[in-house]
Amino acid sequence: MELQIEDSILVRDYISGDEKSLEILINRHNQRVTSFIYSKVLDRDITEDIFQDTFIKVIKTLKKGTYSEEGKFLPWVMRIAHNLIIDHFRKNKRMPMFEGSDDFNIFSVIGDSKLNAEKQIIQDQITSDLRHLIEELPDDQKEVLIMRIYKDMSFKEISENTGVSINTALGRMRYALINLRKIIDKHNIVLTNQ
């Protein structure tokens, strides 16, 4: 009972402008309010957030002069905390949160296959360089390589379109790749995106 009276005096003093009273009130009820929140949410960071939001509401209400529960400060604070805990669970129900642990990281399962901006620029550069290199090949090899790689044609289709045998088309493709490697090695060109 004595504690409640002290609280009410501190509240009155705080409303009158004594900031020190708030510090006493927060420190006095810190453990009870925090433990209450923690017992519901079981997360240290969320507990800190809800504790902070609770006292922000307390401060605003007191400063606005709309506090009317003289003598029942702690139950009032606990009720605010309780409502914020409910809000927290409602929000989480709409948007469930998954936190990984040291053993399991959710991002090892859910990945973004898109390249980031830097890697995309590198990829575009490689594609562009490769096209220039292909231009350096003899026409017959270039023709087969473009049909196979860029047009995704089979060697049977290539042989039909170019009027050569499948073996010749295969040979031209092989020489095209060998020659490309030679040009790349000769000019120390790096075509990787790691």
* Residue numbers at the binding site for other proteins (CB under 8 A): 19, 22-23, 26-27, 30-31, 33-35, 38-39, 42, 44, 47-48, 51-52, 55-56, 59-60, 63-65
Nearer to other proteins, 33 or 144 (CB): 33
Nearer to other proteins, 51 or 73 (CB): 51
Nearer to other proteins, 45 or 139 (CB): 45
Cα–Cα distance measured from residue 137 to residue 178, given in angstroms and rounded to the nearest whole number: 10
Residue 29: name the closest of 100, 89, 80, 94 by CA.
80
Q: In the 3-class helix/strand/coil scheme, how is 14-26 assigned residue by residue?
A: HHCCCHHHHHHHH
- For the CB of residue 58, give the shortest distance to other proteins in the complex, in Å: 9
- For the CB of residue 42, give the shortest distance to other proteins in the complex, in Å: 6
- Secondary structure tally for the chain: helices H, strands E: 8, 0
Cα–Cα distance measured from residue 170 to residue 144, given in angstroms and rounded to the nearest whole number: 8
Nearer to other proteins, 42 or 190 (CB): 42
Q: Which residues are CB-neighbours of 167 under 8 A, at least 6 positions away?
A: none
